[in-house]
Structure 1
Amino acid sequence: MTSQVLTANRLTDGIAVWYDKSGNWNEWIGRSEVAHSKEDAERLEAIGKKAYANNEVLDVNLVEVEEIEGQIRPLRLRERIRAEGPTIEYMI
């Protein structure tokens, strides 16, 4: 199985967040809890479904990642962009 992390968008502002080792939604993928087994992935998926049902986050997904020299890197380009921030600056 490919390693996975749980990602979503924060309900209040739409910012990409990842479920971290402390049980919180975090803006930095590097703190993510990584599922290395099917059982771990199923547990994270259940956490994501509960957070969605409680209106904490939107668009909850498990994302395939690789760990390179201690860094978590999404395999898909879309998720890499989400992890590294927007490709354009926000206008306020």
Structure 2
Amino acid sequence: MSKTFVPSPETPAVLTANDLRDGRCVWMGEGGWTAKPAEAVLYEDPGLAELALLDAQAQGHVVVGPYLIEAARGPDGRAAPAHFREAFRNGGPTTEPAARNANARQPEASHV
């Protein structure tokens, strides 16, 4: 089992999961799950974050694999993923042709 990230005012967390219907990355917003990471709730209090995670884990009919991640607070005060992995996940499943093409690395001229 992976270690759960513990938020603080210096390093807030957001709650993320995958939509059960299409596998896309979703974030817990004020009114429920959203596809926009900037609309995610920033959790600074570990207790509130844990309660939100427990609530999300009970939503197995809506999302899969919810977990807390470290987030950054952007210049506008909104949430943003703090690590590349989460920003990459937000691009959508790489098993879809459009996503594979969008995420594919272009060959460098020296390798062609």
- Normalization by structure 1: what TM-score? 0.82
- Is residue 56 of structure 2 the alignment partner of residue 51 of structure 1? no
Structure 1 segments unaligned to the other structure (5+ residues): none
Query: Per residue, is there more strand in 1 or in 2?
Result: 1
Summarize the alignment of residues 16-55 of structure 1 with structure 2, pairs less than 5 Å apart.
Answer: 16-22=25-31, 24-52=32-60, 55=61
Q: How many residues align?
A: 87
- Write the deviation string for residues 33-62 of structure 1: whole angstroms up to 9, x where unpaired: 11111122112111211112xx21112111
Which stretches of structure 1, 4 residues or longer, exceed 4 Å deviation after superposition?
none
Q: Quote the Cα distance in structure 2 between the aligned partners of 1:9 and 1:72.
A: 18
CA RMSD across the alignment: 1.9
The SS at the match of 1:81 is helix
Instruction: Provide the residue aligned with 2:75 in structure 1.
Output: 69
Q: Secondary structure at the match of 1:51?
A: coil
Letter aligned with residue 80 of structure 1: A
Residues 1:89 and 2:108 aligned together = no
Residue 23 of structure 2 corresponds to: 14
Q: Percent same amino acid among aligned pairs?
A: 26
Identify if the C-alpha distance between structure 1 residues 90 and 77 changes in structure 2 by more than 3 Å, giving closer, same or farther.
Answer: closer
> Which residue type is aligned with residue 56 of structure 1?
V
TM-score where L is the length of structure 2: 0.68
Structure 2, unpaired ranges of 5+ = 1-7, 101-112
